[in-house]
Amino acid sequence: MKILSVNAGSSSLKFQLYEMPEEKVLISGVFERIGINDSFYTIKLNGEKQEKHVDLPNHKVAFEKLVKELEENKVVESLDEIKGIGHRVVQGGTYFDKTVVATEDVIEKIDELSVLAPLHNPAAITGIRAAMEVVPNAVQTVVFDTAFHQTMPEENYIYAVPYEWYTEHKVRRYGAHGTSHKYVSRRMNEILGRTDTKLITCHIGNGGSISAVVNGKCLNTSMGLTPNAGLIMGSRCGDMDATIVTYMMDKLGVSAREMDTILNKKSGLLGVSGVSSDSRDIEDGIKDGNHRCELVQKMYVRRVLDFIAKYYVEMSGCDAIIFTAGVGENSISTREQIMDGLKVLGVTLDPENNNTRGKEIKISGDDSSIPVYVIPTDEEVMIARDTYELSK
């Protein structure tokens, strides 16, 4: 059965087509700059990449181009071969704790929750609508980033603000990256050969979150009502004193919307370093002796350590720590610095194994009190698995 995994952004559309249940990737790619000048897309087929520059005024046109590529490359002979299309949605609120079929009622709820994810949920709806038009016979499903975190106990998701904010305005911790945390925690359980585990999953990239996962279920996570909570990220500030917001609004004379932009798009690595929101550029700056790059890297590592320590105590121990996503999978120096800070817990590093990028490997020493792994995330295959089950 052919299943298509889709991740629609405001101006992009990522996809992978699988043969299920074998989980074989038949074709993958990304459409970029949709609705913007100089749009293009990249296709990866049989190990070869092709880039094509075409006009992509909207997501429907992108889907039409995608379908044309599938047919011209004989990946499918008929669109009816695609039995299911799974869509990633960031915010599912308290409505959804699992993947569901994309009915009109579901789409309305996704739209209602757009206020909590204004950049992501509307784009996802656009992608769902486009897929329904272009591939009408496929089962359309929705996989939520927040669903995995719905197992958190009340004391971990309620904020210490007037309780009516929760009951009347849905203010609570939702988390994000749930599909990734779910994938790497399941994979870690496979490696350990058991499911009664206490895991700390570190999804650290341009956006980042850390989760405590007990027996396969989320106990706590670092992101909050929105993705701008917890860790220091590429351009997001993460946790900070809330009063800074009103203090600096007065000082700068900016609106609430302008302050939101500053905290989400001009802070984090970018804000402190003044160089870039990209971890690789920060590492280059450190090599050049840039003090602000050195400073923000220390801050970044410290924040990661804060959450690992917090969850270690909350779970009364830990069976494994997992690094994943862009920084977690590829930054050798960041992993080393984090693990150096974990020496107090008896964690040791295998420098040779850590000197790798983008592959599954144990990077802790044989004498380490806690095994530490790099597990490349695969959100697309998680989407495909859930969609396959619903399409059957």
Catalytic residues: 145
Give DSSP secondary structure letters for 298-309: HHHHHHHHHHHH
Distance CA 304, CA 341 (A): 10
Distance CA 256, CA 94 (A): 26
Q: Rounding to the nearest 10 degrees, give the CA dihedral for residues 174, 179, 185, 189.
A: 130
Q: What H or E segment, with its residue span, contains residue 328?
A: helix 325-330
Number of residues that make up the chain: 392
Report angle CA 331, 183, 281 to the nearest 5 degrees. Answer: 20
CA dihedral over 151, 123, 18, 204, signed as positive or negative: negative
Question: What's the start-to-end Cα distance of the chain, in Å?
Answer: 9
Beta strands in 126-245 (DSSP E): 139-144, 198-204, 208-214, 217-221
Q: Identify the H or E element spanning 270.
A: helix 268-273
Residue 392 CA to residue 384 CA, distance in Å, equals 12
* Residue 160 half-sphere exposure toward CB, CA atoms < 13 A: 1
